[in-house]
Amino acid sequence: MSDKPGVLFVCVHNAGLSQMAAGWLRHLAGDTVEVRSAGSAPADQINPAAVEAMREVGIDITNQTPKLLEYATAESSNIIVTMGCGDACPAFPGKRYEDGKLEDPAGKGVEAVRPIRDEIRSRVEKLLTELHPTA
């Protein structure tokens, strides 16, 4: 296991919220954090409106694919941020949990996704200051 803190973002489809959050954390933290995302019922592709909204701020998430939440992924993470997966998100003893529930961007256009993207950025910045207080 790495000396870097590991953060796992989990939502149902791993196509919108968790992908945008992972994109923000990768962008803001660089290689100082192990960033992961997964879903309890992954979609076939990332939400195109989420891709476009992130592209607008210079973050490319097109190289990511929705992944199924696996025990090993959760086990190797220090912090698990649940983003609206409800009862589908398993609990792992000894892990720090954050609830990042936000409006689901599924089926929405980029105009509706922008405020969600911006709220995710604020939450990721707060998380990052907790992970690296001197940064």
Catalytic residue IDs? 11, 85, 89
Decide: residue 55, CB within 10 A, 0-12 exposed, 13-18 middle, 19+ buried: middle
CA distances from 125 to 24, 28, 72 (A): 8, 8, 26
Number of Cβ atoms within 10 Å of the Cβ of 98: 15
